[in-house]
Structure 1
Amino acid sequence: MKRVILVVVLAALLVPAVCRADDYVIGEGDVLSVHVWGEPELNSQVIVRPDGKISMPGVDDVTASGLTIPELKKLMVKQISLLVKEPIVNVSLIRSVNSRVYVVGGGVDPRVFEMSQRTTLLHVLASLGSLATADLTKAYVYRDGKKIMSDFSGVFSKGEFGKDIQLEPGDTIYLPVKYDQNVYIIGAVAQPKAILFREGLTVLDALLFAGEFNKYADEDELVIVRTNDGKKERITVKTEDLMKKGELQQNILLQAGDYVIAKETFF
């Protein structure tokens, strides 16, 4: 009976700590406390070694890195049960040193993001402030020597949340500078100009900025010249179908660096 009461009291005392630590992912270098009730010789403070494992009296080489605190506690109960019948075990985080994500690339100020719980890419991006100077299409997450995700524009700018990923300690988020932040509309328009690019900018938006066509324009179509991976491509837009027939598939989304060229005609 006393043991049952003791278990209830301990559970009540430990709930706040567990609630705070449920989502924390243990990493190499973290310092943990393992407490076994009534077995002081087993109580230990342990450091997660570079191989991701911990050891304590009577228990050798338990993998802790990558687990949450509750997951490790469950594993330690199983291991300590080989030494003590029905052990009451508590595992707590003393010091975290390896829960960091690094943001580099020049598109934003470089920084170190401390993860106190499970964190996704979108959560980190949302914490960085303005990303107006970052090229999200060329951004990527680097982990264990390879890129694991590229192009953040969908998850951050278009609401494609299914593309969001869980970050892990040591991940590097690369956000390069968006060197060309303009769209250029030139040729037979009233006011040729450079337009500061924004997500969602379309051909029709660009025409409105430029005051539409001038009197020498071929109003039937215009051309978008776009550079991808060093290669130029030409995209024809049937402007007559867009503006007079309302065919919205012709209202193409523009990208930073695009040239929108309105051709001239003399007939």
Structure 2
Amino acid sequence: MPAAFETTTADDELPQIQSPSGRYVLGPGDVVSVTVWGHPELSGKRVVGPDGEIQLPFVGSFRVAGLSADDAGRKITSALREDYLNTAASITIDSYESNQVIVLGHVAHQGVQTFSGDPTLLEALAKAGAAPSTKDDLTGMPTRCAIIRGRDRIMWVDLRPLLRGKDVSLNIPLHRNDIVFVPDQDDQLVYVMGQVKNPGPYPMTANMSFLEALSRAGGPNDNAQQGKIVLARPSNNTEQVVDLEDFVHQNGSNDQLEPGDIVYVPKSGMAKVGYVLQQLNPLATMALFAAAL
């Protein structure tokens, strides 16, 4: 059975995390120029649609998402040769829009960032105004951040060795749609993961409740099993399964969260008592990639 939730904390997992995707692949929103030699009526600018396809007049749709520009050109060439003799197609990228990451938290510029290649953690932090121009002045710089990948994985990074230039292995290549969260040094965090709109760590507020944390993350989505939401407390190695409807009807008694608590909303049929906490034990110590200096 796959892990319900994964937190990366060990140095020996870095090579897997750092596997670069290599070359830029097309995705929804990218703007490309299609050139079909000898057929200007088929050529021109195209936008990759939400379905990953581009439209060629008189020919039809071609799915290019997930392909490099060269591979997409070869795919279109192969398809056109069924109806057009001695022709070839090429694709160039005019605007990189789909290769994006989101930087949130205590940074100067929160929000979506787009990159023409594979961005690194340091590039994303610098673009968001959370990294120094030189390693000699770290005044006010963040000490840690979380990389949220998908709905089930958080990677915590100690930024101090990276920003000082002492451990470049921590400059992790980011994947498309990663979220980088930079907490304040004094933030106490809870985690809302799984089938919610915006999974990730959230700063605690005074008397923060289970329902408040869930609402901060946008609430359960259509794939959620709302009858078996897991509330785990790694600090004392306990876990309970909450039926959301029953919980609301009971006015959420005794639902105040503590720092480090995890609210995990599973897909239908995945959660069971004792299972999620097995996956979450590393959070109890909140170990980071690099030892504190």
Tell me the TM-score normalised to structure 1 length.
Answer: 0.49
More RCO (CA 8 Å, sep 6+): 2
Answer with 1 or 2: which has the greater Rg: 1
Name whichever structure is richer in helix by fraction.
Answer: 1
